[in-house]
Structure formats: C-alpha cells, structure tokens
Amino acid sequence: MTHIDESGVIGASDEEIVAAVLGGGSAIAGEEARRAVSALGVGGLARASPSTLADVAGIRRTRAVRLRAALELARRVEREATEGRGLVLGDSAAVAAWGRARLAALDHEELWLLALDGQSELCGARRLASGGRHGLSVSARDVLRAALLEGATAFVLVHNHPSGDPKPSAEDVAFTHRVFVGSEAVGMPLLDHVVVARGGFARVEPG
C-alpha cells in the first residue's frame, strides 16, 4: 500500500485513503483497507458497524471506530454544505442533494418536509416520520399540518429507500397524490417528492 501525504490525498485510491485513516502506510492497514473496500465498497463502509468491520476485514475495534468517525465527519461536512435557510431548491436534483447527504446511508426510512418561500429558498425542514426498512406510517393530513406550522409558501418532500433502489413504490405514488390533492385545496402546493438511495434518486410525480 502506497503511503500518501497531504499533497497526494485527492488523487489517492479508495483503499489508500482508508488505509491512511486506519494507520498510515503500514502493511497491516493496507491489507485491512483492501479487504474492507473489496467486501463492502465505500458506501458500505459508511454503514458498517465496528463489529461488521471486524468480521469482514479483521479491523480491530479501536481502528474501526476511527474509520467510522472519519466517515461521519465527511457526512457532516457534506450536510453542512447543503444546509441552512436560503438554500435554493429549485429542481429535483437540488432536493436530492439535500436528501442524499442526510438520508442515503441510513438503514431505516425517514420522510422529510422542506418548506420553501416564494423564491424556492429553504425556510424550514421537518422530519415527519421515521420507520423501519419497509416503510413509514404518515398521513396526508400530517404533512399538510407540518407545512402550515413551518409557514411554507410551497413545499417538497424527500424520503429514502434503505434498499438502495430509489424507484418509487406504488405506495409512494398513491401517498404523493393524496398530499398533492390536499395541498392544492389549501393553496400551499406540493412541488416535488424525491426518493433518495445509495443508487441515486428518483422523482415521484405530484399530480
């Protein structure tokens, strides 16, 4: 495994970067990094527990915790880059960027409402539901109540699929339609509903 310094980090391979976090240029760190990346991929590393890292790649707990901390820091940096009031969410790609930074690596589903002002700028974000791997329990009324509480001019929804496949389910489509109809009735339109996952993102047509 090649040792990397600060001048070579950007061009380093995934294995080299993981090895640097685990223990620099040592042969042991290099072998652990090779096994971990080969078995789990970079996305899998972000979700793996220390015990999984130990079982799959033979990484000792203290080093596994160090790797988890580095990955969590990377997630927080990405989240901070897309967070805050004033962020323009003018299309599905922008909504997906917000959602993937927060939700794509989760092992359970979460549904979020993003309240927008008249210029499509984010003016509030609220988690509406958190559930298991196979779905959420939330009503259209819950969504509209939250949008009213946030003082939204309009709003978008974003949720994740822990399976890794962002393709909307039949339930996603039916739920989105119910929310869309209700939002039109109260004059606070649902502009978009985006599903994010490790494999990308997909849009659920509101109408």
> In the numeric block, which tokens belong to residue 76?
């927080």
Is there a single domain that holds both residue 108 and residue 148?
Answer: yes
User: Structural domain tally of the chain?
Assistant: 2
Is there a single domain that holds both residue 73 and residue 94?
Answer: no
The 8-class DSSP code of residue 203 comes to: E
Q: pLDDT tens digits for 49-102? A: 888 888 888 888 888 888 888 887 877 665 555 455 568 999 999 999 999 989
CB atoms within 10 A of CB 166: 23
**Please, which residues bridge with residue 20 across strands?**
none
What angle (nearest 5°) sits at the alpha carbon of residue 62, between those of residues 57 and 64?
A: 35
d(CA 198, CA 67): 20
Can you tell me which residue has the tokens 């929310």?
Answer: 179
End position of a domain, from candidates 34, 63, 80: 80
pLDDT higher than 70, residue 3: no
d(CA 184, CA 164): 31
Q: Is the pTM of this model over 0.85?
A: no
User: Is position 99 within any domain?
Assistant: yes
User: Is position 2 within any domain?
Assistant: no
Give the mean pLDDT of the chain.
85
Which structural domain, as residue segments, surrounds residue 99?
A: 84-204
What does the pLDDT average to over 29-51? 84
Is there a single domain that holds both residue 47 and residue 59?
Answer: yes
Is there a single domain that holds both residue 74 and residue 90?
Answer: no
At residue 5, φ and ψ (nearest 5 deg) are -115, -175
Is there a single domain that holds both residue 163 and residue 91?
Answer: yes
Highest mean pLDDT among 3-12, 66-75, 148-157: 148-157
Is there a single domain that holds both residue 65 and residue 133?
Answer: no
8 Å CB contact between 37 and 15:
yes
Is there a single domain that holds both residue 49 and residue 96?
Answer: no
